[in-house]
Structure 1
């Protein structure tokens, strides 16, 4: 079958689905920030596209332009017979909880969100151990810095992003206890995911304080961080997708969050999808760091050996990385 990915945009007046879906065609709803953010949303698109290419299947996807469209999009997809309906971003938790019970024959997936599995047995909540992957890139930063000062730029200031920052700081301190870590957030509302100018300004301020490695976990805002790092001759660290290619020689590595695999697996399962709660971590390769032709010359053998050993120890339970989201505290950095 010829690959045909059905895509449509959202108009200010609302959402209109003009085609009737075949039974069990999957659908994908991106979080604010855009499908091609080169990070979280784009990872979801890559996973869906891989599923379509390998199976000859079709999926429908949509980019939202406002918070108000979340529940509307979920209902329209369910009414048209799409299943599973897959969403990206924690902000879908409440909309899915509001909608799922009205469509018991539809499977819903929230990536990064959480929906009570007892109240909504047709929902799969997929979470990630971002703190584990961030610990590893923090080690790389701590072993690479020449100024003993590194930094972090997050998008929206929420526990999930502090989870990235805290894991990163722990990794830095594990190998360089004298290092200084400068954390900043772009903002406190969803616009923080799509403000590369503010991301750039924060990175510039951190560089002026001596940072020579900056980790960006900020959606499209992170692109401004990485560009500024490249322009100023310091290292950037990408997130979610492998962003090493964006500025060859300047991206030290990327913290991988395999949203692509989560989407691919959900689409592959179709209506046989097992609902409930899943966690993707180092043990099942749900998180990690990127090493490829763009950055393999930037990380020396001794650093890689130490990081790989730490990864094995985390999986074995010999190293425990504190998860900020469990108690809203971080032993390695103050916010």
Structure 2
């Protein structure tokens, strides 16, 4: 593991704009992290220090990153851990992600969570260079990030997406729905494929429009409200009356387009009828809830308890890792049907495709 002096760590942290979340002024109510000094590398007990490196959009995206932040906030409140956060920026190089992880470590945050598959190579390299540090990466189970000190946290997004696809098919009045993906990657394809499978399970002849905002290595599709808005506007103008997005912060544009068109949208990751701006919440019919907060909290608690295990941990429908939301009551009339599909997926009578 690479070491640095306290002065170097502080300077480096400041240079990267890392936002401290464990101070007595920033800590969630009830947390004891502000009064506890230090921690052992990767160790458990009071004073555990956790660094979180966000994907593009960072805390405040009302979606994926915020779900991760909620898990850290819960750990601060309930477990008394101290946290420090840093966010990615559009178009940054791989070296920037790797350096962000190392600066968290050098600042003493020796339990590190990387939010998003874009960190895969950086986590793999940082884990090898820092064997005493425990890492978690969200949404990647590739060999790039694997290591004896890495937990790979993944979700069965296709299962949750099946449920909201079924909801869209049950609710559409035009027999045409849409899907907006942030970046065309294998991960986001899982959302699309599951959504299409759920919709076609209800209505085999339904029309589904699909649009991806960017292609790798351009990941700005997760933080481009204007692109999300334009994509959804095109779908509504073509006759779709419900559009599902898996586009991170760009989803705000989908909601704005739905509001202007008098149509409906489906949120992702968080229950966005609770997290989106108040003026668009009424157009969010449901959300595919991906419980990133559960995965984050589970990792932190395991480290603190001394029960950390490296490898891939999958949070599926059976494990409560994905679901659909009911906020606003717009799917209350079809809830029994959705729950039938949910149970069939859990018991294995429906196998949802993921690619």
Q: TM-score w.r.t. structure 2 length?
A: 0.83
Deviation string, structure 1 residues 74-120 (Cα, Å, up to 9, x no partner): 11222333232001100111011111111111100000022539961
Are residues 76 and 253 of structure 1, via their aligned partners in 2, closer, same or farther at CA, if it must alter by over 3 Å? same
SS in 2 for 1:201: helix
Are residues 118 and 238 of structure 1, via their aligned partners in 2, closer, same or farther at CA, if it must alter by over 3 Å? closer
Within a 5 Å distance, the mapping from 1:1-335 to structure 2 comes to: 14=16, 21-23=38-40, 24-65=48-89, 66-67=92-93, 68-116=95-143, 120-188=147-215, 189-245=218-274, 246=276, 247-270=280-303, 272=306, 273-292=308-327, 294=328, 296=329, 298-301=330-333, 303-324=334-355
Are residues 270 and 83 of structure 1, via their aligned partners in 2, closer, same or farther at CA, if it must alter by over 3 Å? farther
Please report the RMSD computed on the Cα atoms of aligned residues, expressed in angstroms.
2.3
Deviation string, structure 1 residues 123-171 (Cα, Å, up to 9, x no partner): 0101111000000000000000000000000101111111101100110
231-240 or 243-252, larger mean C-alpha shift: 243-252
Could you tell me how far 1:53 is from its partner in structure 2?
1.3
Are residues 82 and 306 of structure 1, via their aligned partners in 2, closer, same or farther at CA, if it must alter by over 3 Å? same
Q: TM-score w.r.t. structure 1 length?
A: 0.88
- The answer to whether the 8 Å contact 1:83/1:107 transfers is yes
- The answer to whether the 8 Å contact 1:15/1:72 transfers is no
Deviation string, structure 1 residues 240-276 (Cα, Å, up to 9, x no partner): 0110133232111000000011111112222522211
Deviation string, structure 1 residues 284-316 (Cα, Å, up to 9, x no partner): 010011112x2x1x2243x21111011111011
Q: Distance in 2 between the 1:128 and 1:282 partners?
A: 9
- Which consecutive unaligned segments of at least 5 residues does structure 2 have? 1-10, 24-36, 41-47
59-68 or 211-220, larger mean C-alpha shift: 59-68
SS in 2 for 1:279: strand
- Which consecutive unaligned segments of at least 5 residues does structure 1 have? 1-7, 325-335
- The answer to whether the 8 Å contact 2:269/2:287 transfers is yes
